[in-house]
Amino acid sequence: MSAAKQLRDLLGLCHPPVAVTFRDAAPAGVPRVYRAGPSSCSYWRLAAEGRTFYTEAADHYNCPIGAHTHGVDSPPEVKKELEGVVTTMLGLGYLRPEEPAGIPRREGAFGVAVYEPAGEGAAQIDPDVVIVAGNARQMMLLCEAAGAAGGLMGRPTCAALPVAMQSGQGVASLGCIGNRVYTDLSDDEFYCVLPGRQFAAVVEKLATIVHANRELEKYHRARLQGATTPA
């Protein structure tokens, strides 16, 4: 059984985890996305639907923030749009003045990004990150297994990818309004983004975590049932 299928079975996920790999060139036999999406995270949804494809830098120009976090060297008009978006966010009070300079960005030149359902796609290459979406209980278990429960990232959601790659640790992200629109993420779901090289080890640990939580739930429910109700 693949690690991705084991992950889905252990957590009962509704969405397949998505593998993203940054490479200098596209793997043989993998097609380019059929059209540029409205955002960089919109490609997550396509991959979760079972598609395997790659994007080039130009496929991220519609999303100036996603282009930035992915390490795309954007043309002047996209950089100008990014400045405008940031200015708008600052004016709305959505960002603090010190935040834009600290938005994580993927290191290295951007060649292509390969997207596929983890463990099931046609590319079958070692991913840089694996993106998992689920409800609070599912992400609680996964974050315990990944050691990612120390904090939650918020906006922008796509910044979780470079953070996971650079830190080598799982990153929990609450998502942002743009991501929820483009990926159709429901209000009760959020993400855990795992470094690809640790994916199999995290899933192996997850089996232990899921079993332990089931047993501990029995213990706590029995304890609660036997407790005296306060007057």
Name the residue ranges covered by the structural domains of the chain. 3-226
What CA–CA distance (Å, rounded) separates 22 from 207? 29
How do residues 102-159 score in pLDDT, each as one tens digit? 888 999 999 999 999 998 766 667 899 999 999 988 888 888 888 754 456 777 889 8
Q: What is the pLDDT of residue 219?
A: 65
Residue that is written with structure tokens 């999406």 in the block: 37
How do residues 32-73 score in pLDDT, each as one tens digit? 999 999 999 999 999 999 999 999 999 999 988 899 999 999
Q: What is the pLDDT of residue 231?
A: 44
What residues are paired with 112 via a beta bridge? 23, 56
For residue 15, give the amino acid letter.
Answer: H
What CA–CA distance (Å, rounded) separates 139 from 134? 6
Cα distances (Å, whole numbers) of residue 135 to 111, 124, 170, 198:
33, 27, 17, 22
The model carries a pTM of 0.84
Residues 6+ apart with CB under 8 A from 60: 36, 40, 66, 67, 70, 72, 74
